[in-house]
Structure 1
Amino acid sequence: MAKSTGKSGKPKSSEIFAGFQNLRSEQRQLANKISELEMDLNEHKIVIETLQAVEPSRKCFRMVGGVVVERTVAEVLPELEVNKERLPQAIQALNEQLTRKGQEINEYIEKHDIKVQRGSENPTEVSQEDAPAKTNVLVASG
């Protein structure tokens, strides 16, 4: 798929901005997934603590893929413990991906000479003398 470029063969500012926004979106998705898995881990810990005090033959219900399934505590508890052991590994892998994504964003910023401004500074207040001629300015809110 060919990208449209300016007259000088370089990507347009709008394409650079879209690429940056895409990278930031991927970074946010990774952070959200990490947060979700950390909440799942805490829930697993609470449920395991609760079920350990219950007799193994007691009936319990578990949500599997949006469907409530009836099982016994003896069947569910080992599955929950295995999941609890795997969640930290998944969280660690996602944290590594998040770190790599941050490095990728930093490299993208350097490659395209992007100056990121936070919402506190109005981009129209930047004087032309202060900014280099080939600098892309990106204003991020929040």
Structure 2
Amino acid sequence: MQQQQQQEMLKNLTNQQVVQYNKMRQDYAEIFRVYLDIEDERKEHTLVLDAVKNIDPKRRCWRLIGGVLVERQLEDVLKSLKESLELLEKTGQNYNTAMKQKEKELLDFELTHNLRPQQNQQQQQQSVGSSKTQGVLT
């Protein structure tokens, strides 16, 4: 039913506008996927740093670099891990900014062309449904 409603809304648009809207949604989805990947990498780096922070910095450790296992001292690995973590955080912030900008563009397009995304419809239906079922427990 929701898919039919969306198709009806898209019928009022020209082919070019539909293509533009779908492209914007795909771009947003791609930015979001990359952002999630970066956040996962950042979390992994943080976990590793937390796990080895109390270990002797002169201890030998191995790091996988480009498919090759390399032996180094922990202090060298920690330094490069911290640099990688900083880079991931900056990149994540950039993608977060790009994601917000793309989201704003999508919302502007939807408002301009009188479109309502499925998620907003579902949220409105849930809020209407939940307001009907509210009661007082004694």
Give 1:116's aligned amino acid.
R
**How big is the shift at 1:16?**
1.9
Aligned to 1:70: 71
Aligned to 1:101: 102
Aligned to 1:59: 60
Give 2:106's aligned amino acid.
I
Give the TM-score taking structure 2 as reference length.
0.64
Alignment partners' CA distance in 2, 1:59 and 1:22: 49
- Greater fraction of residues in helix: 2
Alignment partners' CA distance in 1, 2:62 and 2:16: 50
Percent of aligned pairs with the same residue?
A: 22
The answer to whether residue 34 in structure 2 is matched with residue 30 in structure 1 is no
**How big is the shift at 1:114?**
4.8
**Is the alpha carbon distance of 1:114 and 1:66 closer, same or farther for their aligned partners in structure 2, counting shifts above 3 Å?**
farther
Aligned to 2:116: 116
Aligned to 1:124: none
**How big is the shift at 1:108?**
2.8
**How big is the shift at 1:55?**
2.2
Secondary structure in structure 2 of the residue aligned to 1:61 = strand
Aligned to 1:44: 45
Aligned to 1:79: 80
Q: RMSD in angstroms over aligned alpha carbons? A: 2.4
Q: Which moved more, 1:27-36 or 1:52-61?
A: 52-61
Alignment partners' CA distance in 2, 1:117 and 1:31: 17
Alignment partners' CA distance in 2, 1:15 and 1:67: 49
In the alignment, structure 1 segments of 5+ residues that lack a partner are: 1-11, 122-142
Aligned to 2:6: none
Secondary structure in structure 2 of the residue aligned to 1:107 = helix
**Is the alpha carbon distance of 1:90 and 1:56 closer, same or farther for their aligned partners in structure 2, counting shifts above 3 Å?**
same
Equivalences, count: 108
Q: Which moved more, 1:22-31 or 1:59-68?
A: 59-68
Secondary structure in structure 2 of the residue aligned to 1:115 = coil
- Greater fraction of residues in strand: 1
In the alignment, structure 2 segments of 5+ residues that lack a partner are: 1-12, 122-138
**How big is the shift at 1:26?**
1.0
**How big is the shift at 1:54?**
2.2
